[in-house]
Amino acid sequence: MAGKLGVLLLALVLSLAQPASAHRKLLVFLLDGFRADYISDEALESLPGFKEIVSKGVKVDYLTPDFPTLSYPNYYSLMTGFVWLQETHSRQEGLARVAAELEGVLKAFDSELSKPSFRRFPTRSQAVSTPGRHCEVHQMTGNYMWDPNTNKSFDLGINRDSRLPLWWNGSEPLWVTLTKAQRKVYMYYWPGCEVEILGVRPTYCLEYKSVPTDINFVNAVSGALDVFNLKNAEVSRALLNSRSGQADLAAIYYERVDVEGHHYGPSSAQRKDAVKAVDTVMAYMTKWIQERELQDDLNVIIFSDHGMTDISWIDKVIELDNYISLRDLQQLKGRGPVVSLWPAPGKHSEIYNKVRRVEHMTVYKKEDIPSRFYYKKGKFVSPLTLEADEGWFITENRESLPFWMNSTVTRKPEGWHWGWHGYDNELRAMRGIFLAFGPEELDLNFSCQMLKKEMSERLGTAVLDLLLTSTCTRDRTRPPRDAAG
């Protein structure tokens, strides 16, 4: 996690912890499957909405998602990361002691800061890792999971068991923390907002039931801005049939960019049209913020969960039943870049030895998963994890390939997906976006003094990560290391 982005998030979340009469509001967008280069400097020339946002605030070069680069793990990594900062920095007691302790930590890691391998960021545009808890901590380790102890499955929200606290209670997301603090939270199509997490639900949740349309997205943005506006809060309250008033946090999820990237590929005209549709809404949003006189009171954060890469259904498919008997598995979860296997009792070594010889994928025993993935300690991680090379797709057999356009009887080539994600999180194609703007001083050149002042009692791994990648006491002349190359 980059230090200065961490402080940026700290500043925005701290604003929510102030007395109700003083704190500013926060609007969060999660744009699924929005790859970093979709808003490259060149691309921005034809995206006036995003270009205006960048001119007003902060844009990082890319965000490195958590592994696996799938949706649910990164939904939770992002939002539990905000919570961690909220928990860590919102308390007011013990600041003097912690500031002194932090001074010692900074000195202790001074040598680390000067190592050549350490990333430095020379401009406001930076490369950052997902600013949240890793999935092995919050336990949301996949879109498809299985718990051997209860024989329950999490299947991308399509089964009732996916709403069990079992999957969600590993960490506390931002909306739960704020709701517990008597803040008003409105969520639109956000996956998981319908779930009771740690005994709490948000003030309002417009549940995700199918891919939100562009009209749904426009209405969500307009509705969110209305509930931020004290003048419109009563009207919005009546429309939403909610007992709450003015919102403190609103969170909006939009999926079309991901859907078109899957269906037609990340370079397709359809995907580009989806980005232009988002851009149009972003342009309207900045206009609506002015019209509702929210420009001095509202901070906006826009991020994505992962990127997208090209895949080929013709020649880059790994069919597992060509190598093993699926009857020798107790459970199989997932398909594509990451597949989880639970071998039947007595079959672990046999299965491992067979699949480890398969080309274009890597097989990990749980204990051998690279530490850089921050994945292997997850309690739902399987004994064997299969990771495909970029562009390759693992499935049971070709009959199990995910066609989206046609029925199983009339399948045609154009019905196959041409884009996918979930691969190694250091690949360029998996990179996401992070932008922010608002009345806060959204410059990444925050000082260490601010960090020391606001640090509270809990020092942990996330804080150490923040310190190890802080550049505020160092020169900023060295370019960032390219994680992909």
Distance CA 205, CA 242 (A): 10
Separation in Å, CA 141 to CA 79, 157, 294, 386, 484:
14, 14, 37, 14, 22
Distance CA 326, CA 328 (A): 5
Of 33-42, 154-163, 475-484, the least confident: 475-484
Across the range 89-94, mean pLDDT stands at 34
Which tens digits make up the pLDDT trace of 217-268? 999 999 999 999 866 555 555 455 554 568 999 999 999 999 999 999 999 9
Q: In the predicted model, is pLDDT for residue 299 greater than 50?
A: yes
Give the pLDDT of residue 448. 31
Give the pLDDT of residue 115. 37
Distance CA 437, CA 459 (A): 28
CATH 3.30.1360.180 fits domain 317-416: yes
Nearest to 140 by CA among 203, 61, 66: 66
Distance CA 438, CA 46 (A): 23
Give the pLDDT of residue 387. 99
Across the range 8-16, mean pLDDT stands at 50
Across the range 58-76, mean pLDDT stands at 91
Q: CATH 3.40.720.10 in the chain, residues? A: 3-133+171-310+426-468
CA angle, residues 153, 155, 156, in degrees to nearest 5: 145
**Domain 3-133+171-310+426-468 CATH class label:** alpha beta
Q: In the predicted model, is pLDDT for residue 52 greater than 90?
A: yes
Name the residue with higher pLDDT: 5 or 469. 5
Q: How many residues does the chain have?
A: 485
Average confidence score pLDDT of the chain: 78
* Percent of all residues in the chain with a pLDDT value above 90, rounded to a whole number: 58
Quote the distance between the C-alpha of residue 205 and its chain's center: 19
Contact assessment for residue 45 and residue 399, using Cβ atoms and an 8 Å cutoff? no
Give the pLDDT of residue 141. 96
Confidence of residue 47 (pLDDT cuts 50, 70, 90): very high
The pTM (predicted TM-score) of the whole model is 0.80
Q: In the predicted model, is pLDDT for residue 462 greater than 70?
A: no
Q: Where in the sequence numbering do the catalytic residues fall?
A: 71
Q: CATH 3.30.1360.180 in the chain, residues? A: 317-416
Across the range 140-166, mean pLDDT stands at 92
Structure tokens at 473: 């006491």
Query: Where do we find the tokens 């919050």?
Result: 138
Structure tokens at 111: 């040598």
Contact assessment for residue 126 and residue 2, using Cβ atoms and an 8 Å cutoff? yes
Nearest to 31 by CA among 85, 84, 82, 74: 74
Structure tokens at 392: 């390759």
